[in-house]
Structure 1
Amino acid sequence: MGLLGRVGRGLLWLILVVLLLVLAAVLWLKATSGPQVKGQVTLEGLSGPVTVTRDAWGVPHIRAEASDEDAIFALGFTHWQDRAWQMDFQRRVTQGRLSEVLGEAALSQDRFLRTWGFYRAAQSALPALSDRSRRMIRAYAAGVNAAMGQGKVAPEFRILGYTPEPWTEVDAIAWSKLMAYDLGGNWDEELLAARVQEKLGEDGLDDIRPPYPRGATTILSGGEVGQENAAPSAEAGVTLPGATLAALRAHLETARSLGMERVPGKGSNNWVISGSRTASGKPILADDPHLALSSPMLWYLADLRGPTLRVIGASIPGLPSIVIGRNDRIAWGVTNVNPDVQDLYVEPESARLTGRTEVIRVKGGEDVRLVVRESEHGPIISDVGAGALGPRVALKWTALQPGDTTLDAFLGLNYAQNWPDFRAALRPYVAPSQSFVYADVDGNVGYVAPGRVPVRRGWDGSQPVPGDGSREWQGFIPYEELPATLNPGDGLVVTANNKVLPGGADPLGNLRNWAEPYRAERITALLTAKPEGLTLDDVKAVQLDTVSLVWRDLRPLLLATQPDGDLSRAALERLRGWDGNQTTDSVPSTVYEAWLAELQAMAGDELGDDTRLNSLAVREQLREDGDLCRSRAARVQNCADLLRVSLKRAVDGLAARLGDDLGGWTYGRVHTVASDHVMGEDARVAWLFNHSAPTPGGTNTVNVARPDPETLRQTHGPSYRHIVDLADMNRSLYIGSLGQGGNPLGEHVSDQQGRWASGEYLPMSTDEGDWGRTTTLTLQPGE
């Protein structure tokens, strides 16, 4: 045999050996990190045996014989089995302890998290909870620690080289504080208002964030609330110097780096339909909360059965309850109300401040000491860089105040059997305020918007205010006075983050708080187009609808553009006959979203590139030939010029990515869901941790899928969907955005994503016949 043959054979052997080593490593990692899903284990902390039957999609159906606490123990056990890294990382975020495992690169995040005091707020909440909640928390923590003791190690722990600490009771409620930030704050809007006032004057905010359109769809009607609300008088806020604004914006950018941001059009939808409108004569309830899409996904589907606990739906790893779902008698869904529950106070020189010192441990470096100052209103969040030398700006927020009993509310929902139980369960709810829709097997439908909402007298909370005592909260809106309705006359409640109450104002917040009315209008129109006989398939079609009402409004304005070049002309022709349906095979969708992204940046000259207009603001500027269209730097004199220039920028950018043939510019090539992992930022392992798929929908569609303005990828959207049929609960449906598993080598890490993207669902059923292939693990109590 010649030299070449010997070298070739040696190379083949080398390749084979490498492949065998890689395969062995993968099998070893799977064996040492994957959950045990069958057989039997004996565990301390149980009062009786529990079976955990995982269905074909990895959803655990937990059956506890002796106590409901045992079912919650098993939920904690399965959460840690499938999502250990996610739970520990979330815990470290709430604690501000990322630098311990990620090094100096995470210092700014830890400073932000420690300054705001998310974990301290969780510590203060624990003593206020009911005895039942404390029992459940103890059981949950015991279940997590029991799973931790099984010796399985998530790959992320091996990569970063550390061992997670035991789970505590505070850990079991801490993540809810981060959810409250993501869903219940508007301090960023106050900061924007301060910048707008500095750059554009007091009237400029109407251009950047137009008030909710008068007469647009609201959640409740005048007939349901009895009266309309008059608008309070708005007033100018405190002018902040540039260094202070920069310090506050630094905090905001740090929050965004953690995925904690309010994204225009992120939204959520839910609705409930009474039996008078359905084919079965019983209610149908639908929900799809829109949040950041990640790997692992936020939600964890689970089915819990104990002696009295009988609930199925979506849980969050780290929390001991079903958050959204149904039991055997009622169903509920949530969307964000987004009331104004935060205020920025500019403290006077005479304000009394207290301080505490936080020690941040840094992997591979020296400890860092952080001094956090607080006023009576809350933490001073302007102590960053040069901002520490200027005015002291404090944050006041309901979720940071002691006595947060929100977990009592969620556990109460799990047990509620009727409307009075439901109302009573939500009484202790604090934050983040949500629009809860309700249905029960007796045919009742309803709506409640619980939570602590500050009462302000004579000011609207839209801008920073002096901390001299002249602008203080006058308590909270009493629970009985918060928006609610039972069995409305039209048999329909639709929420899509839109304004709750009719009239010129809303006691829940100022007129800029609400999402644009497009999604609510589209849902209402589709559901009322068929006044009776609605079915599960009809509700599915609404939940998955991808027709853009924004395109309806912008179409005549965009099509009047004078194109600059052949490519712009060809793109306009593609748009001319488009019906606004944003499917993955649509070329006009690609052009439209790229163009809209350019238009949303029109305030960049005045306020910086990070300021983006919502669709309503874009529409108003184009209709009125607004001042924001003008750009001296780009030699744009009016909105007609901006339309021409922005279209050319959009199509030139698409051509650079996709080529000059418009026929190849299908939406699914650029609009793909980005379910990314923290580890996925490293290109060497991104292929293992990140997950993607082409997705339909766009800005303000019901199936919301707002593209990232730079990449057109989808980073936020329906993180979970469910449709509950009160005529036959086991015909109900649900689906997550990715999969049950957190292990990148596991079977269920992403097996829901394809179904989710294509509009399919899983059976939300407690009937074993609907579970497909199963495995069962029995948890036995120790001696």
Structure 2
Amino acid sequence: MLIVLVAVLGVVLWARATSTPQVSGEVTLGGLSGPATVTRDRWGVPHIRAQTDEDAVFALGYVHWQDRAWQMDFQRRVVAGRLSEVLGAPALAQDKFLRTWGFQKAAETVLPALSEQARRLVQAYTAGVNAAMAQGQVAPEFRILGYTPEPWKEVDSVSWSKLMAYDLGGNMEDEVLNTRVMQRLGQQGLDEVTAPYPADGPTILSGDELAKTGTQPGAGLDTATLPESAIDALQAHLNAARELGLQAVPGKGSNDWVIGGSRTASGKPILADDPHLALTSPMLWYLADLQGPTLKAIGASIPGLPAIVIGRNERVAWGVTNTNPDVQDLYIEPADASFTQRQEIIKVKGGDDVTLTVRESRHGPVVSDAGASDVGPRVALRWTALQPGDTTMDAFLGLNYAQNWDDFKAALTRYVAPSQNFVYADVDGNTGYYAPGRVPLRDGWDGSLPVSGDGSREWTGFIPFEGLPHTYNPADGLVVTANNKVVPDSYAYSLGNERNWAEPYRAARITDLLTAKPDGLTVQDVKAVQLDTVSLVWQDMKDALLATQPDGELSRQALELLRGWDGNMRADAVAPTVFEAWLMQLQKMAQDELGNAATLNSLSVLKQLQSDGELCRNVAAQIQNCAAELRASLGRAADDLSARLGADPADWTYGRLHQVASNHRAFGDVTALAWLFNHSAPTSGGTNTVNVARPEQGTFRQTHGASYRQIIDLSDMNSSVFIGSLGQGGNPLGDHVSDQQPMWIEGQYLPMSTDAADWGRVRTLTLTPGT
């Protein structure tokens, strides 16, 4: 092992000398029409100034590759299903999943559908990436794995959006779980395992803010069933997605809100956003300031994409959270269904090529048989993000240019997937909200279970753009979104069934905190809300938990630690450790019925405790009711914590277990390399806190959270702030690889400013045109 570590360290140290990007001086590059400057501030954030918009985007592509080359190459390999080429056979299951679904195939239909302006910017970005690649800089990962990245292609600049659509949209995983639940426990079991959204839970829009109201088409559950072998085949795809960090995580989500001037101290809006995604090394986002003659945007970009995804320009600010309408359906194709098929050749490092046969029906790819024609029913996937001609890139580029609400709406008409909650504010004091994207219309069924592909359950179109949820200058001066239910039942269309939405805790807490101060709100107030770690889950459950009769001394001591606790999930406290460990045990209460993969969310646990529900019962464990389950689960939690942290509960400080895990996609679990590429530290927050930090089942690690935070002050744009979860750099021994993480944990921010006076120490690289 020592020899391996020395060898790896030698490679990395040598790679540092050859992979450190040039960040000052001058470099001559083909593909530019005029000079451009890249001024990196003290945190490595580039402030790009160019004489044309295309040159500004060229420079963005250049710095993206300089700082995040491995991340960009890895992301495009994921979309194309080409991980096995560089990682070997362990990545084969992921490649099969990716090729079967056809993410790359869908991405290749995007470019012809984009506007002429978007095509020009994608071309400029691609040229910038390849100009940086030609400089000879090689990321350490390329050295360690022994390969050279291929030139960047235009399709690579739109392909990652397909994986983002998977991560943020659809409900195939819900349909698979719901099928298993219905077949084993029936309709009542479905309501118990996945509790419907509470009738009194907050909605993003109120009834009087709806663009259109009416009566929704009748919807009901279908009765189509699947054999266990088909469910297992579908689950295999979901397992492969999990290996890529793409999965539905209870409590995963995002927050954004916009406050009208009537509620702020300045009289102008404040807009906040913190998307909750997988926390990786390097981090997903790349902060950037992009200034051309008409393109003037600053905020969070994603390496590989030629746009500011979340942020502001000189007049308009925007933020996003996941809407999560139901945009996926599984179809059980009849015996006489026709299919097309294609052969996918997967190259495997150190092994033979693998041929994968992918079949498609008129609904979409067959995702149940991995190419075999004789394994159970053929289940096909229909999904908006796999339909050809996705113009979502037009929408994001349009937002970068938007000057007012009309421009904002016009950009969003091009938005396809994944559907997002966009909040809006402008310097004139206007605020708004829109939830764009293609949302299928279903007549007579709710999409929560697989349906027959015989033609009786077809989409009849999409909700028209004008009918999608939106509001402009709402009377109460406040729009709060936290993946909660979007609209009340008076809305004329269906966005999905009542199990689609995140639990209401974050939305309720944000609204309570913001409305507690009816006017005079400041950026500092908004920071406090973004960073809030008080658990409303604890507030709802504490009466049931504290009434538990412990079954031993250790359990008694653990229970006493919860008495008088205010629910604040601080890293330096002990009570959060006991609560989350206990909640983890309670979330397993359906596993005796559904298997070890079944994990209830906190709302479903609460409903069981409140009703002495059937899921509390476990015949094999001789548990007859919820009181017995509470006693047994407390004992299991206390024993688990004792084994991890020692026999004295007073030493069970939350931060000893609950630590952010920003791990590397390829080397995060490789012992010889994880120490170099991974980044961890104790963090506060927990399940469904506003500063969301749900501990992972079994490890207590925080693997998802606020991947980026921004607070935009429309009264003084340059007093706005932002922060990423880790750092700008990708090289593990380079500058800025993790310098934002301590600030992110402590609740500090960077200036989101286009004014050089706010940048601190700077280094400027001038890009000059050449042949």
* TM bracket, shorter-chain basis: over 0.9
What per-residue deviation string (whole Å, max 9, x for no partner) do you get for residues 382-423 of structure 1?
Answer: 014989521000000000000100000000000000000000
Report the 3-state secondary structure (helix = DSSP H, G, I; strand = E; otherwise coil) of the residue aligned with 1:201. Answer: helix
1:272–1:286 CA contact under 8 A, matched in 2: yes
What per-residue deviation string (whole Å, max 9, x for no partner) do you get for residues 693-715 of structure 1?
Answer: 11110001000000001011100
What is the match of residue 307 of structure 1?
293
What is the match of residue 695 of structure 1?
683
Instruction: Tell me: CA distance 1:21–1:682, structure 2 relative to 1, closer, same or farther (3 Å).
Output: closer
1:45–1:142 CA contact under 8 A, matched in 2: yes
| CA–CA distance in structure 2, aligned partners of residues 608 and 582 of structure 1 | 30
- Structure 1 residue 551 displacement after superposition: 0.5
- Structure 1 residue 434 displacement after superposition: 0.2
Structure 2: 5+ residue stretches without partners: none
Of 718, 735, 753, the match for 2:723 = 735
Structure 1: 5+ residue stretches without partners: 1-14
1:238-637 equivalence runs, <5 A: 238-384=224-370, 388-503=374-489, 507-637=494-624
2:314–2:717 CA contact under 8 A, matched in 1: yes
Give 2:382's aligned amino acid: K
| CA–CA distance in structure 1, aligned partners of residues 53 and 325 of structure 2 | 34
Give 1:767's aligned amino acid: D
Bigger drift between 97-106 and 526-535 goes to 97-106
2:61 pairs with 1:76: yes
1:247–1:385 CA contact under 8 A, matched in 2: no
Give the structure-2-normalised TM-score: 0.98
Give 1:211's aligned amino acid: P
- Structure 1 residue 296 displacement after superposition: 0.4
| CA–CA distance in structure 2, aligned partners of residues 22 and 597 of structure 1 | 38
1:720-731 equivalence runs, <5 A: 720-731=708-719
What per-residue deviation string (whole Å, max 9, x for no partner) do you get for residues 698-743 of structure 1?
Answer: 0010000000010111000000000000000000000000000000
Report the 3-state secondary structure (helix = DSSP H, G, I; strand = E; otherwise coil) of the residue aligned with 1:390. Answer: coil
What is the match of residue 669 of structure 2?
681
2:657 pairs with 1:670: yes
1:633-652 equivalence runs, <5 A: 633-652=620-639
- Structure 1 residue 231 displacement after superposition: 7.6
2:718–2:754 CA contact under 8 A, matched in 1: yes
Report the 3-state secondary structure (helix = DSSP H, G, I; strand = E; otherwise coil) of the residue aligned with 2:667. Answer: helix
What per-residue deviation string (whole Å, max 9, x for no partner) do you get for residues 228-274 of structure 1?
Answer: 75583312331000111111111111111111101111010000000
| CA–CA distance in structure 1, aligned partners of residues 196 and 10 of structure 2 | 61
What per-residue deviation string (whole Å, max 9, x for no partner) do you get for residues 491-547 of structure 1?
Answer: 000000000101277621111100011100000000000000000110000000000
What is the match of residue 106 of structure 1?
91
What per-residue deviation string (whole Å, max 9, x for no partner) do you get for residues 116-172 of structure 1?
Answer: 000110001111000011001100110000000000110000000000000000000
| CA–CA distance in structure 2, aligned partners of residues 227 and 455 of structure 1 | 15
Instruction: Tell me: CA distance 1:69–1:243, structure 2 relative to 1, closer, same or farther (3 Å).
Output: same
2:47–2:290 CA contact under 8 A, matched in 1: yes
| CA–CA distance in structure 2, aligned partners of residues 19 and 715 of structure 1 | 26
What is the match of residue 770 of structure 2?
782
2:32 pairs with 1:46: yes
2:184 pairs with 1:196: no
- Structure 1 residue 24 displacement after superposition: 8.0
2:743 pairs with 1:758: no
Give 1:210's aligned amino acid: A
| CA–CA distance in structure 1, aligned partners of residues 12 and 618 of structure 2 | 56
What is the match of residue 79 of structure 2?
94
Instruction: Tell me: CA distance 1:386–1:68, structure 2 relative to 1, closer, same or farther (3 Å).
Output: closer
2:11–2:143 CA contact under 8 A, matched in 1: no
What is the match of residue 5 of structure 1?
none
Identity within the alignment, %: 70
1:228–1:503 CA contact under 8 A, matched in 2: no
1:202–1:236 CA contact under 8 A, matched in 2: no
2:108 pairs with 1:120: no
Give 1:741's aligned amino acid: G
What RMSD in Å do the two structures reach over aligned CA positions? 1.6
- Structure 1 residue 26 displacement after superposition: 5.8
| CA–CA distance in structure 2, aligned partners of residues 275 and 554 of structure 1 | 37
1:314–1:324 CA contact under 8 A, matched in 2: yes
| CA–CA distance in structure 1, aligned partners of residues 371 and 402 of structure 2 | 50
Report the 3-state secondary structure (helix = DSSP H, G, I; strand = E; otherwise coil) of the residue aligned with 2:277. Answer: strand
1:228–1:501 CA contact under 8 A, matched in 2: no
| CA–CA distance in structure 2, aligned partners of residues 308 and 82 of structure 1 | 26
1:247–1:387 CA contact under 8 A, matched in 2: no
1:183–1:432 CA contact under 8 A, matched in 2: yes
Report the 3-state secondary structure (helix = DSSP H, G, I; strand = E; otherwise coil) of the residue aligned with 2:230. Answer: helix
What is the match of residue 215 of structure 1?
200
| CA–CA distance in structure 2, aligned partners of residues 438 and 484 of structure 1 | 11
| CA–CA distance in structure 2, aligned partners of residues 287 and 615 of structure 1 | 24
| CA–CA distance in structure 2, aligned partners of residues 172 and 409 of structure 1 | 14
Of 701, 719, 727, the match for 2:707 = 719
- Structure 1 residue 305 displacement after superposition: 0.4
1:214–1:503 CA contact under 8 A, matched in 2: no
| CA–CA distance in structure 1, aligned partners of residues 6 and 96 of structure 2 | 45
| CA–CA distance in structure 2, aligned partners of residues 280 and 770 of structure 1 | 21
Instruction: Tell me: CA distance 1:141–1:662, structure 2 relative to 1, closer, same or farther (3 Å).
Output: same
Aligned residues: 766
2:21–2:66 CA contact under 8 A, matched in 1: yes
- Structure 1 residue 202 displacement after superposition: 2.7
Instruction: Tell me: CA distance 1:23–1:647, structure 2 relative to 1, closer, same or farther (3 Å).
Output: closer
Instruction: Tell me: CA distance 1:727–1:253, structure 2 relative to 1, closer, same or farther (3 Å).
Output: same
Give 2:396's aligned amino acid: F
1:436–1:448 CA contact under 8 A, matched in 2: yes
Give 2:741's aligned amino acid: Q
Give 1:169's aligned amino acid: E
1:194–1:237 CA contact under 8 A, matched in 2: no
Of 28, 33, 41, the match for 2:14 = 28
- Structure 1 residue 227 displacement after superposition: 3.8
| CA–CA distance in structure 1, aligned partners of residues 218 and 650 of structure 2 | 52
Give the structure-1-normalised TM-score: 0.96
Bigger drift between 394-403 and 633-642 goes to 633-642
| CA–CA distance in structure 1, aligned partners of residues 48 and 727 of structure 2 | 18
Of 136, 142, 147, the match for 1:151 = 136
- Structure 1 residue 681 displacement after superposition: 1.2
- Structure 1 residue 285 displacement after superposition: 0.2
